[in-house]
Amino acid sequence: MTYFNVDTITYEGPKSTNPFSFKYYNPDEKIGDKTMKEHLRFSVAYWHTFTADLSDPFGTGTAQRDWDHLSEMDKAKARVEAIFEFMDKTGIEYFCFHDVDIAPEGSTLAETNHNLDIITDLIQEKMTVTGKKLLWNTANNFTHERFVHGAATSSHADVFAYAAAKVKKSLDIAKKLNAENFVFWGGREGYESLLNTDMKLELDNLARFFKMAKAYADEIGFTGQFLIEPKPKEPTSHQYDTDVATAHAFLQKYDLEDIFKFNIEANHATLAGHTFQHELRYARDNGMLGSVDANQGHPLLGWDTDEFPSDIYETTLAMYEILKNGGLTPGGLNFDAKPRRTSFEQNDLILTHIVGMDAFALGLRVAHKMIEDRFFEDIVDTKYQTFSNGIGEKIINNAISFKELEDYALNLTQIETQSDHLEVIKSRINQYILNINSED
Ligand code: XLS
Ligand code: NI
Ligand code: NI
């Protein structure tokens, strides 16, 4: 059976008007020392593309899928067939999933685990035949009602145990399918009111949970990178892994810094009141940039709308950080994104990925050129020049005291500051984006 009634998507270049073609993503073209495919490491998110029905808080699902009529395990098996055909046709090498995305939950944990065994056997076979790889998997410890008060931060010890059992099983799956990373998104690890919350106990428990997860991964020989995915709110009004800086402080406090890196989602960054680039930079500066959930929010909507990335200004700045990080490997760009509710046809799944892949491919092309030219790097070097000699050099070398700084300041007659010419920077980045194709 064929699920996607299209040919394999190929690169036709920026002038193509064929919606089923890449305009900027040319997988084998080299940008610097790597091919586009090696730089971008795209991944399909099982949940949005193969499990979700496009419902929103005000309306039922609109998605029309060939597997809709099937029930439970048959549906799960059909989805495995469909995602591998999808990866083949789009040329995407990686995929990601939560436990509940791939197999139905049974009435007991043992039954759920049995369903997972059957489906992961099937996935494993497909991986062997096709060479497709698992970027990461994770445990969904937020949808089921048992997680109403959280999972690792639940007020109920039984829930903590259940959550641990699910992560244990997911780590077994990660090992079985050679996942390159393992993600923790604290879906309900947060609170609604501090008046009924023991925040200290909850955070201590979260750290205990992570330590046990790492101990178990070591025990079974799973060596994939552990990733934390920060998000400030939704579903709870306050999520503990608020943003990179907050989660980084948590990891440092509990001595977990060496175990984790971050999986940064664009829409979560903007929900936190940051830019996507800010989150990437903060992680990169601290050696903690691991992987990316590639999507975008809508400026007029508050919710985590998970749109496919199309804003090339954003993808350019993201790729700028990623290139400066030396890439993301073993992480990648996972499309944690879904079609709008109005784009309900099965082929819309392909069209949405094309938009996202092209947006990041264009961002890669532009960012590579920017870095090659050193236009912005030279501005930064000049901006901080006073720290390379004299008093500045002493500050950098921690070789000066407040008293000496005062003596120095008392002798200053006039301090000459420089204009940033910020608007020139904004204009130059527009030039970079607009000129990229005419230079080819
Ligand atoms: C939800 C998160 C989720 C994680 C994986 O907002 O983005 O999809 O990526 O649990
Ligand atoms: Ni995500
Ligand atoms: Ni999200």
Q: What is the pLDDT of residues 32-79, one digit of tens each?
A: 999 999 999 999 999 999 999 999 989 999 999 999 999 999 999 999
298 is known as an active-site residue: no
pLDDT tens sequence across 292-334? 999 999 989 888 899 999 999 999 999 999 999 999 999 999 9
Which of 136, 265, 291, 304 to mutate to test ligand 1, by most ligand atoms within 8 A of the CB atom? 265
Q: What percent of the chain has pLDDT over 90?
A: 97
Please provide the DSSP assignment of 112-172 as one string.
HHHHHHHHHHHHHHHHHHH--EEEEEE---SSSGGGTT-STT-S-HHHHHHHHHHHHHHHH
The pLDDT value given to residue 436: 84
The pLDDT value given to residue 439: 52
Residue type at 419 in one-letter notation: S
Query: Ligand 1, atom 3: nearest CA belongs to which residue?
Result: 185
Asked whether the beta carbons of 229 and 333 are under 8 A apart, the reply is no
Residue 440 in this model has a pLDDT that exceeds 60: no
Counting ligands in written order, which one lies closest to the CA of residue 264?
Answer: 2
Residue 438 in this model has a pLDDT that exceeds 90: no
The pLDDT value given to residue 256: 98
Interatomic CA distance for residues 349 and 11, integer angstroms:
18
Phi, psi of 316 (to 5 degrees): -65, -50
The pLDDT value given to residue 302: 80
Q: What is the mean pLDDT of the chain?
A: 97
304 is known as an active-site residue: no
Query: pTM of the entire structure?
Result: 0.97
pLDDT tens sequence across 81-107? 999 999 999 999 999 999 999 999 999
